[in-house]
Amino acid sequence: MTEGKYKQIGLPCDSSDMGKLDAFITAVNALFARRDLFLSIRDDQLVLNLNRLDPKLLPQLPRREFPQLTQNLVSAIENIHSYGLRAGQRLYVDFNAERKVSDRKFKEVQREKHFYASGKTFLKDNNALPDSFVNRILTGDAREILTRLPDNCIDLMFTSPPYNFGLEYARNTDEQHWEQYFRELFDVLTEVIRVLKYGGRLIINIQPLFSDYIPSHHLVSSWLMEQSLIWKGEILWEKHNYNCKYTAWGSWRSPSNPYLKYTWEFIEVFCKGEMRKKGDRKNIDISADEFKDWVVARWSIPPERNMNKWDHPAMFPEALVERVLKLFSYQGDIILDPFNGVGTTCAVASRLDRTFLGIDISNEYCSTARKRIEDTGKKGYG
């Protein structure tokens, strides 16, 4: 059993010879610090109280004077197969427990937690989303459409902007010079930050273009931190893209220029103003099991298999959106996707009883998105 800071184990002994037991206890206890190990008597039973042990001390036990008692003690210790190791010692108590930081709050203040976001004060007063934008799929440039929204009216943005890999979209090919790509993307995100509520979340799925050596997820995250948003975390979306595992790229079997390959994408999570998002507990729709599973920030979700059905070259799956919305928003929250594509974010938001606003430059994609939302039993007006 474990009691207090010690694992306690009863040892075989002859309780009729208490003088011998006392001498053995004295000899053993002299070898160890009491906080690590000591022997005691309880109800005429010899008890090993064990917290940690330096195994190099075992040969110093009084084997010659007390052979059977020492053998019983060593056997009890060696029969314990679950322990941790630290600085050469075996840890028998709480070795699996998370190591706690003492005075954590004070030390966070001393370090200045999320110091990069301390230079800007966001407005705390939130506003209602105008009815003309409620549950809408709008065709146009998000940079222009978002300017029509008031400050602080969106609870959460989840989007995946064009990859800029050269894919063929309905209206254009995403093949811009990188400086222009990021300039236009940041123009949209500037408006998104403005319309996010205080405590709202900005969540973006983005994959680097490794062949161009452009770490898009790092560049976007760095820019968002420069805007004083608080970085909440990064999720690895493990897609299990096994095709890349069996294809050789770069310098084959040579350190000359090996090409690193990834089976995952990145989801960056940011907060505006503060980490805590206020909401009514009755509007929480994530289960306990989902919460425990999803806060582990590596999500194994297969990629979308129906892209041909929706005629879109780069969709994320509904399961990915469902996790984001249930983990980071409440029912009734307003969800924005400024690169809405064929409407995956809005369709899932509708199904999960969130309000949505989707924007895309392609009229064809917007028509498809409205049809998907109608399939959920609701309407996505244009």
Residue 161 has what pLDDT? Answer: 92
Could you report the average pLDDT of every consecutive run of 10 residues in the chain (382 residues)? 78 88 96 95 92 94 95 95 89 78 72 84 94 96 97 97 66 72 96 98 89 89 97 93 61 81 92 95 96 96 72 76 98 97 93 96 90 77 68
112: which residues sit within 8 A by CB, 6+ positions away? 118
Task: Identify which of 120, 136, 271, 249 has the alpha carbon closest to the alpha carbon of residue 202.
Answer: 271
What pTM did the predictor assign?
Answer: 0.72
Beta-bridged to residue 269, according to DSSP, are: 203, 233
Instruction: Write the pLDDT tens digit of every residue in 191-216.
Output: 999 999 999 999 999 988 777 888 99
Burial annotation 108-143 (CB, 10 A radius, 16+ → b, else e): eeeeeebebbeeeebeeebeebeeebebbbbbeebb
Q: What are phi and psi of 159, to 5 degrees?
A: -150, 165
207, with CB counted inside 10 A (0-12, 13-18, 19+), is: middle
Beta strands in the chain (DSSP E): 2-3, 6-11, 37-42, 45-50, 52-53, 84-86, 89-91, 136-139, 154-159, 196-206, 230-238, 264-271, 298-300, 334-337, 355-360
**356 C-beta neighbours (distance < 10 Å), count:** 28
Q: What is the DSSP letter of 150?
A: P
Residue 33: per-residue pLDDT: 93
Give the model's pLDDT for residue 335. Answer: 98
Q: Do 7 and 1 contact (CB within 8 A), yes or no?
A: yes
Count of CB atoms situated within 10 Å of the CB of 4: 9
Q: Which domains does the chain have, with CATH numbers?
A: 2-91 (no CATH), 115-374 (3.40.50.150)
Q: Is 186 helix (H, G, I), strand (E, B) or coil?
A: helix
Question: If you compute the radius of gyration of the chain from its CA atoms, what whole number of angstroms results?
Answer: 30
- Tokens linked to 146: 């978002």
> What integer pLDDT is reported at residue 14 of this predicted model?
85
3-class secondary structure for 304-326?
CCCHHHHCCCCCCCHHHHHHHHH
Query: In the prediction, which pLDDT does 308 show?
Result: 62
Q: So what's the pLDDT on residue 146?
A: 98
Distances 115 to 106, 109, 110 between C-alpha atoms, Å: 15, 10, 11
**Closest residue by Cα to residue 155 from 126, 130, 133, 186:** 126
